[in-house]
Amino acid sequence: MNYERNKIELEENGYSVLMDLYLDHEISQMLACIENAEQNGNSFMKTEDLFAIRQLIKNVPELSDLMFNKKLTELITDLSASEYFLTKAIYFDKPSASNWFVAYHQDLSISVDKKVDLENYVNWTFKKGQYGVQPPIEILQDTITIRIHLDKTDKNNGALKVIPKSHLKGIVRADSKDWNIENEFVCEVEKGGAMLMKPLTLHASSRTTNGKKRRVIHLEFNKHNLTEPLAWLEHYEIKTSTQQLGSKAAK
């Protein structure tokens, strides 16, 4: 398949939606892996409104071969001219009765292995045993987010809303006058499809109103090494010839 159209849309608008990345049986296999995983430790978060697994490849390693099928590896190759690697993998399950919503924001934080005082690395956080930091803007600009949809997702069960082209404005305050809510677009995605996004694209998520689940695997890719001695918390090389990942995850 050729994903040139998706690449152009991602660069110009800050997002793109594609269908048929996975077959039904591939989705079923991925969900079975997740359901069979031991759900303990800081990487697992469960509330009435959300269940999440951070460091997904580390905690559910069987998923890597299933996720990185021929279509996904071709997609990543088509999207990027240089060698990209996986820097973040999270599973989100928004239950059918969830009242959880997220206001408009940009994804400005990356997960790193330690806290180090470095120029242009700001707004440090420490949550669930993980350090987060806002890196230099070129790292955010070169990040590619791929959200794999394990359920059909529309405006009634939490499909992401985006402000097209907002990623071109750099880092903006959510209450800024530089963007207009009237321009928002709802990214409805079929089961087995995916949403591509730039992290600087302003995006939001509404409450679930139709009683249907919204399960998503959120992947982030980058091509930059961080300023030494800082390193990505997760770093998995993509081996397109075998559709497998090679781990260089931080210890």
Give pLDDT tens digits for 55-94: 999 999 999 999 999 999 999 999 987 789 999 999 998 8
Taking the C-alpha atoms of residue 203 and residue 200, their distance in angstroms, rounded to an integer, is: 9
Lowest mean pLDDT among 37-41, 99-103, 109-113, 142-146: 37-41
Q: CA 129, CA 42: separation in Å to the nearest integer?
A: 6
Q: Tell me the residue range of the domain where 108 lies.
A: 4-247
Q: How far apart are CA 52 and CA 39, in angstroms?
A: 10
Q: Which residues lie closer than 8 Å to 232 by C-beta, 6 or more apart?
A: 87, 110, 111, 112, 113, 222, 226, 250
Alpha carbon separation from 132 to 60, 124, 203 (Å, rounded): 22, 6, 20
> Which CATH number does the domain housing residue 122 bear?
2.60.120.620
Which amino acid appears at position 31 of this protein? Answer: L
Is the pLDDT at 246 greater than 90, yes or no? no
Pairing of strands 214-222, 85-94: antiparallel
Each residue's pLDDT tens digit, 173-192 = 766 655 666 789 999 999 99
- Is pTM beyond 0.85 here? yes
Comparing CA positions, the residue from 191, 181, 182 lying closest to residue 159 is 191
> How many domains does the chain divide into?
1
